[in-house]
Amino acid sequence: MILERGRLVWRFLPFLLAGLLIIACYLHFFVDVPRMIMLIKSVDPLYYSIAVIVLLLDTVFFSLAWHSILSLLSIRAPFRKTLLFVWVATFVDILIPAESVTGDISRAYLMSKETGKTERNTGKITASLVSHRMLNTVVALGSLLVGCLFFILRYEIPRDPILGMSVSNWILLVTVGSAVTLSFLLVLTLKEEITRKILNSVFKRVVFVYKGRWPLEKFKSKARIALEAFQYAITVLGRRPQA
């Protein structure tokens, strides 16, 4: 167990260092650190405390939603573990910024370790993550659209001083990006044949790069079982949309 953890640390260490380097470069080149510190000192503790409480509640409800989806798929894990894995994923996302992808991979890995690393279990956990991400994206899309409409109706829209783009256009751009992501997830979820073709394409590239050094048939068999479990889990969730 200790050796396995040691190997895991060494695997993630380059990504961790790369994330820290990106954050350091961003702070150095784009952020006025002394001014930022002065602004932090001038913050009203009351509002800051409220923000912290809201952040904690947001994480708790985010974890509850995922925990509920896992329960629907008969994946049993204590809620405290689910909450812990969400916090770990958030930390990984901050250190290795990749639009929540690294965080979702972390959640999938940790939950698989907790509940059993089998292909079927991994497929169901992946389905829970995709469903959770879709739910989260729908909420974000709705919030963005309502916020954009509110700004347009109530205020004169300011323009970004650097890029010259209005705030409403920025919100619209993010909304379109979220809608495209949601559509892509829906296609992968509902069209098993498309997902299978994407997997086969990935395996062909792996064969080309590693030239037979990987046991490809073994990985393809595991991927097929995981994909079947994924599609079954999505079907189960689709039958209970009210949940």
pLDDT in tens, 66-87: 998 888 888 888 999 999 999 9
Give a yes or no: residue 202 inside a domain: yes
At residue 108, the pLDDT reads: 85
pLDDT score of 16: 72
Domain end, chosen from 72, 96, 116, is at 116
Residue that terminates a domain, selected from 95, 116, 137: 116
Residue numbers of the domain that contains 217: 118-243
pLDDT of the residue at 61:
93
Do 140 and 238 belong to one domain? yes
For the chain, the domain total comes to 2
Which residues, 6 or more positions from 2, have their beta carbon under 8 angstroms from its beta carbon? none
Q: Are residues 234 and 223 in the same domain?
A: yes
Q: How confident is the model at residue 52, as a pLDDT?
A: 92
In a domain, 189, yes or no: yes
175/231 same-domain check? yes
At residue 60, the pLDDT reads 94
For every residue of 92-161, DSSP letters joined together read HHHHS-STTHHHHHHHHHHHHHHH---HHHHHHHHHHHHHHHHHHHHHHHHHHHHHHHHHHHHSPPPB-T
Q: Are residues 134 and 228 in the same domain?
A: yes
C-alpha to C-alpha distance for 226 and 232, rounded to whole angstroms = 10
15: in domain: no
Residue 32's φ and ψ, nearest 5 degrees, are -85, 90
Q: Render pLDDT for 111-121 as a digit per residue (tens, 0 to 9).
A: 888 887 777 77
Structure tokens at 130: 């995709």
Low-confidence ranges of the chain (pLDDT < 70): 1-9, 11-12, 97-99, 156-168, 188-192, 194-195, 198-200, 202-229, 231-232
* Residue that is last in its domain, among 99, 116, 133: 116
Distance of alpha carbon 28 from alpha carbon 207, whole angstroms: 42
pLDDT for position 192: 67
Domain-embedded: residue 170: yes
pTM confidence score: 0.66
Residues 141 and 210 in one domain: yes
Give the chain's radius of gyration (CA, Å). Answer: 21
